[in-house]
Amino acid sequence: MGNGNVNLQELNSIRECASSHQTQAAKLNDFANKCNDPQIKQMFSQASKQASQAAQKLTQML
């Protein structure tokens, strides 16, 4: 996509969204590490991975 296709406001929104996803990934990973139940641990781990991947995709757009 490249940042030539977006204005400054859109660029800042993408950065904010990527940052939010990174924060979510870290929190979900922390929850997973504190879980004793294997199913819930897996659920949090998967959600953390998805949030991290979303952050990476958004960052690549910049």
pLDDT of residue 27: 98
Q: Domain-by-domain residue ranges, the chain? A: 3-61
Task: From 1, 51, 21, 54, select the one nearest 10 (Cα to Cα).
Answer: 1
Residues of the chain with pLDDT below 70 are 1-4
* Burial classification of residue 60, based on how many CB atoms lie within 10 Å of its CB (0-12 exposed, 13-18 middle, 19 or more buried): exposed
DSSP three-state, residue 35: coil
- The residue to which tokens 């959600």 are assigned: 47
pLDDT of residue 48: 98
Amino acid identity at 49: K
